[in-house]
Structure 1
């Protein structure tokens, strides 16, 4: 391992922005050995550590398709796949460990041998070196559970990736193990002109038929909803009906419903060449190559057909894939000032509101501009602003009229009466209809 490892990760927290008093639902406090800092992202759950700039193209999904959510069934043959790149000219080695959490992402405080069978450690090394340079990188990939490590109970889990030699914690990712117990049916009711900006809202509903072991559902069950796999912005259902003997219904109130107009802008970087529509210039004389995008225009750039499929995007895995410095340009119509600030958030930066992704106004071009290092592939992104000192507003730049097809997940948790931990009985992925 390279001797400069401690220097290389000294900027591990540089990707975040220090904000005070942020909303608990989307602002999560994380720490490493020497720093405490707050990050704002709808994706990050409490105590999750975002990846440093030296780690790129992170993915975590159920094996079979990189569009699958990070959810596997307890006791099944299903596996999770973790993949990432390290920007380096030398191969590294990494240690992966796992923790179990309750439904609100607090540590469940149960012994490790209750939730894990085997050794709580996966060593990943070697890596696959890219065949192109500028910058050099190694690609790493591993699968779990395996014959040395299995999960014994359901619930919320977090994997933690550290540098093997130095022990420096690099990043963490949430995933879920479900029992698939009971039966669940979910749907969405859309209410128009009901949002804060008179946008449509989506009110998710679910009906859960109990498995036989549920004796006191009104005391032992809790229910949550998540929109578009933004796990850090989960919402607990405050409305439920236990009047029927074998089932319950639960939903969010209108006041806490999700926006139905949450939209995304698609980014196609499969080919680093001028396409006349999105990429208007490519400069290979720079290292890495500079890709300049056509300007995004307020309320006019988002794709009218939702193609969102993953929190991580779809970076190419070929050894001939390369990274580019991508310049984003945004025309706000004179709506924002430097004090307000405009930020680029997307699946290539963990939807993180960061000073590294803050746009600066270019008086010569008349656009807000920023650059981001991104691997060849396809991605989605948005523009966002700070919500005062309390979080992120990634809807202020969205089309307030057009309803979009959103993805939702419903979660059913059961407080185990004997061992007092949260079991995850059911997860259902469903979509609002067009």
Structure 2
């Protein structure tokens, strides 16, 4: 009953994978095994999908949860590694940034209950009595099998804050007339009076991210000017982001009835969800739509514990592009797949003139968007199918990094969250 797909030669698929995949490394948000699904990593005292930033030497904690669809239990281990602001290894000994053990086994797992798709749910809370942190900064959490880091399962980025500077800013229209209707510009200041740095131009860097997406982030290495202990970043040519559009969404919190974007639900030996067709949204004017800024939430309204009784479904997407398949291909991205443009997120052309794909997703609420990739340039176009508007509501994260005097590492010393005002 599912849509038919064109079959691509193996060589072409391998070529596309090599060109389009974001580089997977031990220092990004990556999943290395196809049977690992529904990875969530968030601050415990916030709602799920909250940005994983915690304060050093506080009661703050983060939770990692994920499912293993291969069933049974496996020997998963975990560790943390300190990184610089660009997510390169700080090359420190674990004894320099960990108070306790270097690694630990992941013992907390539960089998699914009452679901068509059987899985094992794993969960981890950090810091804990076996793994605790000494210094602030960027950390990559590594999950691997049999105590062997060559058998990497997944990685997540953790931000540990030692708040010693004040950062704040505003979101304004760009000075450039040609981008005033599409882009958003950030002007901000950092007051470093609380830290001792020898050269603020050299020792302080500020990363600006839109909706927690590091692949589109902008690193500020030099302020526009210095006013006392304030670093001012307001040059007309920096920190300008495309506004984009509000994310599309669908809701599978229950598989007993159709929600707003669900066309049909089939339940037999597996769950199948057919979403309504998506049109291109590259229109002249902005349309208000409430979204979750790309996030997703695992929720099952029909059960008691979404971690283990939420089921999986094959969710079918289809989009009309007004573009021939000879020019390019759309990809579907969101936090649920770490915004990865790769073979797993690639859509295929159907004989009825639309692009289709199906993804195996756990019950919940999902934000997503379509990215058009041109066959000739291999470059992603985030706005060809979604549009680009200054009015779009977005979140911006400001992360301030400093290198302590005489230290061999960078610390996260400031964090601020900015939001655009809904129109």
Deviations along 1:369-409, whole A, 9 cap, x unmatched? 11000000011001112255554222221223462111001
Aligned to 1:368: 355
Of 94, 102, 105 in structure 2, the residue corresponding to residue 123 of structure 1 is 105
* Displacement after TM superposition at 1:74 (Å): 1.0
How high is the TM-score relative to the length of structure 1?
A: 0.84
Deviations along 1:401-433, whole A, 9 cap, x unmatched? 462111001111112221221111101111112
Is 1:173 aligned with 2:156?
A: yes
Within 5 Å, give how 1:242-253 maps onto structure 2: 242-251=225-234, 253=236
Distance 1:397 1:271, change over 3 A: same
Within 5 Å, give how 1:31-110 maps onto structure 2: 48-65=29-46, 66-110=48-92
Aligned to 1:221: 204
Work out the CA distance in 2 between the residues paired with 1:252 and 1:225.
14
Secondary structure of 1:304's match? Answer: coil
5+ unaligned residues in a row in structure 1: which ranges?
Answer: 1-13, 33-45
Contact 1:192–1:199 (CA under 8 A) maintained in structure 2: no
Work out the CA distance in 2 between the residues paired with 1:306 and 1:60.
23
Aligned to 2:264: 281
Is 1:236 aligned with 2:210?
A: no
Shifted more, 252-261 versus 175-184: the winner is 252-261
Aligned to 2:169: 186
Contact 1:340–1:385 (CA under 8 A) maintained in structure 2: yes
Work out the CA distance in 2 between the residues paired with 1:389 and 1:49.
25
Within 5 Å, give how 1:337-416 maps onto structure 2: 337-364=325-352, 366-386=353-373, 389=377, 391-401=379-389, 403-416=391-404
Aligned to 2:303: none
* Displacement after TM superposition at 1:104 (Å): 0.8
Aligned to 2:418: 430
Secondary structure of 1:187's match? Answer: strand
Distance 1:166 1:237, change over 3 A: closer
Shifted more, 59-68 versus 406-415: the winner is 59-68
Contact 2:17–2:343 (CA under 8 A) maintained in structure 1: no
Contact 1:203–1:254 (CA under 8 A) maintained in structure 2: no
* Displacement after TM superposition at 1:326 (Å): 0.3
* Displacement after TM superposition at 1:314 (Å): 3.6
Secondary structure of 2:30's match? Answer: coil
Distance 1:375 1:199, change over 3 A: same
Work out the CA distance in 2 between the residues paired with 1:253 and 1:108.
33
Secondary structure of 2:328's match? Answer: coil
Aligned to 2:313: 324
Contact 1:96–1:122 (CA under 8 A) maintained in structure 2: yes
Q: CA RMSD in A?
A: 2.8
Of 224, 248, 253 in structure 2, the residue corresponding to residue 270 of structure 1 is 253
Work out the CA distance in 2 between the residues paired with 1:30 and 1:274.
38
Contact 2:331–2:370 (CA under 8 A) maintained in structure 1: yes
Q: Which runs of 4+ in 1 moved over 6 A?
A: 300-303
